[in-house]
Structure 1
Amino acid sequence: MWRSRTNRGGKTVVCIACGSSLSRADAREYDKAGNRWERHGKEFEHLCKGCYRDLCHHPRNELESLLGDIEEHGLSQEEFLRRYLAEVEARYGHLGEQEEHGEHEERER
């Protein structure tokens, strides 16, 4: 007889956001590539339901590659954030400029 898919063998997983241990059945899958529907050859990380609800569910185009480009072992939080902001500005321009440009376009419509 086949086992129920919801059981998942009673496996315990760890929430990558808060570190709590919970059963796989009570967790939500997190795919850092952003496409959890393409499942072949992937190992998923997991989030508890509370942390999953707190996530921003907007598309995150290029975010993982950006983070990978600035990530370095032993980097302080301050240095990581400095590199992140610098890389975002280098790739996409200054946020204030984008907001002003968007407002200007709205006024022209």
Structure 2
Amino acid sequence: MITNNWLHVLKDEVERQGMRRVAEKLGVSKATVSQVLNNKYKASTHVIQQRVEGVYMAFTVDCPILGDIAVNQCLEHQNRKFAATNHIRVALYKACRNGCPNSKLCGSK
């Protein structure tokens, strides 16, 4: 089934792979996936939507450091704590917090 509706994609993937596997791939709990599917999730579903779009729908963003990457990878880089383990990780940390148009961090440092 080809669709642009991320909720339909999420439902289809849960039916195909199971709740646990989908939750693991999205980096959220099974309860979160269940609540989203049953329209009982109290918080905004925007981040869940982006994760579904990145993992299952191949949506991408243009990262100023890495180029074209999946939306869910962008979110993962934004959530990482600072670690000077390599120059790319440092550059990603700085870019995510200093004006990247894809960042959800609102320029926090």
- Normalised to the residue count of structure 1, the TM-score between the two structures is 0.26
Higher strand share: 1
Higher helix share: 2
Q: Which has the larger radius of gyration?
A: 1
